[in-house]
Amino acid sequence: MKLSKSLLLSLALLISTLFGCTYGFSGASIDYNTTKTVSIANFFNDSVDGGLPNMGQTFTESMKDYFQRNTKLELVSSKGDLQFEGAISRYNIAPQAVVSSGNQNVADRSGLMRLTIGVEVAFTNVNKEEDNFKRTFSFYADYDPQATTLTAVESNLVEEIFDQIIFDIFQASVAQW
């Protein structure tokens, strides 16, 4: 006997509810019966090579927004059931591709530059200590220095990189993929 898709979906939701875990479209797997709060401490920019002003604050607020949009957890200032703290530890700009000028008298130039940002994160799950971790999450974005300047694209690159790093932190902590 074939079960309809809606009956299967209803059954899956019932089983999920009975076991107290919630799986959403965000990929989060959180037991909201025991895990109700999240605290995200201020991330500071501890990188040697600088970065945008207020970069730590931007990262912190973006991470708070992401967790509020993708979970039912209440954001608290400290001592949440899930706790995040850390710092931006790397901000590096380096050439990735060299383009030959084709002329012996003219120096080769960089065809692509790469901005890499690393964020050290300490995650604590007070209800499940085996999930705790301390690790660095890193991502990069490239730009063409012949078409634009770093100043012109830096904000967009940082936002793109932060979006990916926050997604990776979310996956490692509450989705555990």
pLDDT digits (tens, 9 = 90+) for 121-157: 999 999 999 999 999 999 999 999 989 999 999 999 9
The CATH number assigned to the domain holding 57 equals 3.30.160.150
Query: Would the pLDDT of 43 be above 80?
Result: yes
Instruction: Look up the domain containing 68 and give its range.
Output: 35-175
CB burial readout 61-93, b (16+ within 10 A) else e: ebbbebbeebbebeeeeeebbbbbbbbbbbbeb
Task: Quote the pTM value.
Answer: 0.79
Residue 111 within any structural domain of the chain = yes
